[in-house]
Amino acid sequence: MTKILVLYYSSYGHIAQMAEAVAEGARSAGADVDVRRVAETAPAEVAKAAGFRIDDSHPLLDDVNQLAQYDGIIVGSPTRFGRMASQMAAFWDKAGGVWFQGQLNGKVGAAFTSTASQHGGQETTLFSILTNLLHFGMTIVGLDYGFQGQAGVDEVKGGSPYGATTIADGDGSRQPSAVELEGARYQGRRVAETAAKLKA
């Protein structure tokens, strides 16, 4: 069975919701899916002052040696100044040995993100994740235009050919919309299908 990891960091829950939808999509393609969060690295006083929630909605993945067991890894992180959160970067920065041994070469990688504002760094954040995954030798799957929900300007919405996205608004009040969650499911399904083909 194809094994997929949805690995995310989320301060306020938007990326956690998107991770669930990505996982649903991957499961719909028959994959065995684990959803895991990376560790909080912000000092407790910083997390408290910024109102970060205590994220215990999914098990923690801290051991980078677990990565090699998956056929596809889908990474979700909110933007931080136009790039992935340091919590997610810190996780990958521990994986030098995994990189050195080429353990992820040829596996499928993908990214999803969230920003506060529509143009607050969605695509640059996705590419900061994808750059990382390409260095690990992964074969990238985006959000192809088979998902037509990303087209059109009839409503405020995320979604890009580089990965599924949502928009949280400055106070975090906006939640992932139906079309954004649909995009996340589509991407999860596509990654699982691609990983299954590459594995065969």
The residues of the shown chain that bind ligand FMN, judged by CB under 6 A, are 10-15, 50, 78-82, 114-117, 120-121, 168, 172
CB 21 → ligand FMN: shortest distance, Å? 13
Nearer of residues 116 and 140 to ligand FMN, judged by Cβ: 116
Distance CA 50, CA 44 (A): 10
Nearer of residues 28 and 124 to ligand FMN, judged by Cβ: 124
Nearer of residues 12 and 147 to ligand FMN, judged by Cβ: 12
Confirm if 34 and 192 have CB atoms less than 8 A apart. Answer: no
**Cα torsion through 84, 88, 94, 100, rounded to 10:** -60
CB 24 → ligand FMN: shortest distance, Å? 17
Q: Where are the beta strands (DSSP E) in 44-85?
A: 72-80, 83-84
CB 6 → ligand FMN: shortest distance, Å? 13
Helices (H), 94-146: 96-100, 122-135
CB 179 → ligand FMN: shortest distance, Å? 17
